[in-house]
Structure 1
Amino acid sequence: MGEVNLLTTVAVVTISISLFFSLFLLTVKTAHKLSNHLFTFFLILHAIDNSVNLGYLFEIPLTGRIFISSFFFLQLPVFYLYVLSVCYSDFKLKPAHLVHTIPFLLANLIFLPRFYSVDLASKISFLANGSSMVEVQFNHILMHVQCVFYLVAAFMILKKAKKIYLENYTGASLESLKWLFQFTVALSIFFVIALLKNIFKFTTYPNISNWLKAGLILSELIIIFWYLYKALINPNLFRNIDSKLKLVSEIILEEKNSNPRVINEKEHISALLTLKQYMLEEKPFLNPSLTIQEVSKNIGIPVRELSVLINHNLEQHFYDFVNAYRIEYAMDILKDVTKNKVTVLEILYTAGFNSKSSFNTAFKKQTGYTPTEFRKNL
């Protein structure tokens, strides 16, 4: 009885936090309304899914329980759309996205003949023999397939978005993408455990399923608190990229398959000199939100050619290319004895960085030292 009360209490707290966070996301002023709305829907679906654990507080009809459990089939599709909306600034919901509701519709339609449309006694008999019912087995297989498909798809989107970001942008969004990757990993672990719970439920070890269920409810509460903490301390967490941007590897492949204008060595050297002169004289890297489009506009080299020049010919991501100039600028300040009272935090912001972690990582990658160690060894 104590275990039941604990599960119910944690479920109530989780649902309350989910709904509170949903209200926060709907009311907070942000440029990323679609992302917030999609994540709100994701949280509400989780709250609905958790409501089956409140059966000890009020009675939920058998039809309602089965229908509520089918909302699981909407959670990962909504999360997948959320990842798309976070990564790409021009993402919009379209009628074609309704295809993601097919698993949810199938999961309910298959129960229509022998469960939804029969009397109560037949429903009880159906659930009593649930593990041997084709409908239940089909839905469990569909759950497994759906989880693998959407989680792999989400990771692929994040991987591509990160690479496009490195090739075209600088700033804090790389940290944001890393965090979203971590959040997706946490959700992946959560759903894998949920699948294991369902597997053990129909074996001779139902107690394992109950323990996994308790762990899931608790971990869900932790994940939601984690996301809420991130959202509150940084409401403008993500800076999206343009979905029309292509990877350099795709650009090069397109040029190989067409008849591109051959750029001779003289033009290549001239473009490189123009780029380096611009970086040294104008110091655009001091802008923490610098993009390759801005550099292209200011030096008169098309974005495609500039992207290939930096990312392919120089074998550096635009992100690393710009950070190299920022580190050199920071090193000059650290070497200046007249500026030994300037703090590392002040230096990193002056040099164009906007987070201590990204500055320390880039500095150590280029010099082998942390900024503090570098200053001490002078």
Structure 2
Amino acid sequence: MSEINTLAAFYAFSGGALWLLGSLLFIGFDKVNTQANRWLGAFYFILACSFTQLFLEEFEIGGSFLIHLLELPRWAMLPCLYMAVTGYVSPSLPKKDKLLHFVPFLLFLVFSLVYLMPKFFNGQYHLPILPPWIGFIVRYFSFGQMVYYWIVCFLLLRRHQKNIKRVSSFTDKIDLEWLRYLLISVLVLIFIRILSISSIHVTYYSPILYFLGIILLAYSTLSQKSIYAIEAYQPPEKDGIAPQKVLNERLTAEQVEELKSIVTRKTDSEKLYLDPSLTLSVLSGKIGISTHELSYVLNNGLGKSFYQFINELRTEEAKSLLLSEDTKHLDMLGVAIRAGFNSKTTFYTTFKKATKLTPKEYIKANSKTS
């Protein structure tokens, strides 16, 4: 019994860590993503309630009323995560219909007040007998909710990471990579829950496994970067293609070819790509066309996103710099900055994707042939 209690004590560690993490988010350790952080903090508070409940149940502390109070907000947990993710991926857009996501929680709250709470105070009350399927929903709805909202949050993040490549030539500080690791940590917790239902061995060690998952969750959260809106997103697009019906009426095939020539010539000859903060709207202003037209020309005329188009030009610039005698004194970060990249990571990734070689391998390969 003592060994089981020792393992179950990790529920208290997990709950305590989540209470602390939620408090940090509410206090505002990041002054930029305040609203999204508060939704995420609410998610952690409700998750902390779940682990506190598990701890109290395991050690038989507190009454059934306290246990039920800790369970009450559970149906609001994943909607809070969803609201946090939408706040991170689109901080400047209004959140419509957010109350709809909390309707199941409100229904469960009403159900508890009518059917469950009275029995903690007075056992003599008469209410209609509910059909069995309602009991099934109450028992398993939160699990289905977890799976559904995790998938929705992951798709939102993927769409964000695709969108930023349509409007920006740099993604290092705005790609929300930390949020991907956070969602993976949440998925780990979901898998532990599934496995603990089907395997007694996993159930036995689940307090420790949950605690390790919470550590991953905390690390991902605390490593987040502030998100500043670089420019407004374009209207939603399907499959990465701009609204074709409108643009097809505006641009003929000949006009697309003409604009493609202007875009490539002006961007290359004036070396506009050397600006590390270059965005779709900035380039469209320099060329003299709208952002929608520029996006359409890049996607359909060149078959590239804005991110690909600009960073391929930067890669070509980097090739020249790597082999130039005038830049031999520069290290790789210096070459990256001179070529227009805003980080060495983006430089290495883009360069290797284009050449199948690292910058140093490229220098060696071309030194042998020269």
Normalised to the residue count of structure 1, the TM-score between the two structures is 0.82
Deviates further, 85-94 or 324-333: 85-94
Q: Does 1:273 align with 2:274?
A: no
- State the SS of the aligned residue for 1:110: helix
- 1:128 aligns to what? none
Deviates further, 357-366 or 273-282: 273-282
Summarize the Cα distance change of 1:110–1:171 in structure 2 as closer, same or farther, 3 Å threshold.
Answer: same
- 1:159 aligns to what? 158
Summarize the Cα distance change of 1:358–1:175 in structure 2 as closer, same or farther, 3 Å threshold.
Answer: farther
- 1:126 aligns to what? none
**How far off its partner does 1:294 sit?**
0.9
- Match for residue 251 of structure 1 among 234, 238, 242: 242
Question: Whole-Å Cα distance in 1 between the matches of residues 275 and 22 of structure 2?
Answer: 34
Which amino acid in structure 2 is aligned with residue 40 of structure 1? G
- Match for residue 348 of structure 2 among 338, 345, 360: 360
Q: Does 1:211 align with 2:201?
A: no
- Structure-to-structure mapping, 1:182-193, within 5 angstroms: 182-193=181-192
**How far off its partner does 1:308 sit?**
0.7
- 1:103 aligns to what? 104
Contact 1:167-1:311 at 8 Å conserved across structures:
no
**How far off its partner does 1:140 sit?**
3.1
Which amino acid in structure 2 is aligned with residue 171 of structure 1? F
* Structure 1, gaps ≥5 residues long: 124-131
- State the SS of the aligned residue for 2:259: helix
Which amino acid in structure 1 is aligned with residue 152 of structure 2? A
- Structure-to-structure mapping, 1:20-35, within 5 angstroms: 20-25=20-25, 26-35=27-36
Contact 2:73-2:105 at 8 Å conserved across structures:
yes
- 2:68 aligns to what? 66
- State the SS of the aligned residue for 1:36: helix
Deviates further, 344-353 or 242-251: 242-251
- Match for residue 80 of structure 1 among 59, 79, 82: 82
- State the SS of the aligned residue for 2:176: helix
Q: Does 1:260 align with 2:254?
A: no
Question: Whole-Å Cα distance in 1 between the matches of residues 21 and 140 of structure 2?
Answer: 32
* Structure 2, gaps ≥5 residues long: 125-130
Summarize the Cα distance change of 1:327–1:298 in structure 2 as closer, same or farther, 3 Å threshold.
Answer: same
Contact 1:326-1:351 at 8 Å conserved across structures:
yes
- 1:129 aligns to what? none
Question: Whole-Å Cα distance in 1 between the matches of residues 307 and 326 of structure 2?
Answer: 30
- Match for residue 333 of structure 2 among 323, 345, 350: 345
- Structure-to-structure mapping, 1:322-341, within 5 angstroms: 322-341=310-329
**How far off its partner does 1:323 sit?**
0.4
Summarize the Cα distance change of 1:207–1:368 in structure 2 as closer, same or farther, 3 Å threshold.
Answer: closer
Percent sequence identity over matched residues?
21
**How far off its partner does 1:208 sit?**
4.3
**How far off its partner does 1:61 sit?**
2.5
- Structure-to-structure mapping, 1:30-49, within 5 angstroms: 30-49=31-50
Which amino acid in structure 1 is aligned with residue 18 of structure 2? S
Contact 2:163-2:233 at 8 Å conserved across structures:
no
- Structure-to-structure mapping, 1:359-378, within 5 angstroms: 359-377=347-365, 378=367
Which amino acid in structure 1 is aligned with residue 209 of structure 2? G
Q: CA RMSD in A?
A: 3.0
Question: Whole-Å Cα distance in 1 between the matches of residues 194 and 73 of structure 2?
Answer: 15
- 2:4 aligns to what? 3
Instruction: Tell me how many residue pairs correspond in the alignment.
Output: 356
Summarize the Cα distance change of 1:314–1:57 in structure 2 as closer, same or farther, 3 Å threshold.
Answer: same
- State the SS of the aligned residue for 1:312: helix
Question: Whole-Å Cα distance in 1 between the matches of residues 192 and 310 of structure 2?
Answer: 42
1:156-190 Cα offsets, whole Å, 9 max, x none, are: 22222222222221213487334423332331232
Contact 1:168-1:291 at 8 Å conserved across structures:
yes
Summarize the Cα distance change of 1:156–1:32 in structure 2 as closer, same or farther, 3 Å threshold.
Answer: same
Question: Whole-Å Cα distance in 2 between the matches of residues 52 and 240 of structure 1?
Answer: 43
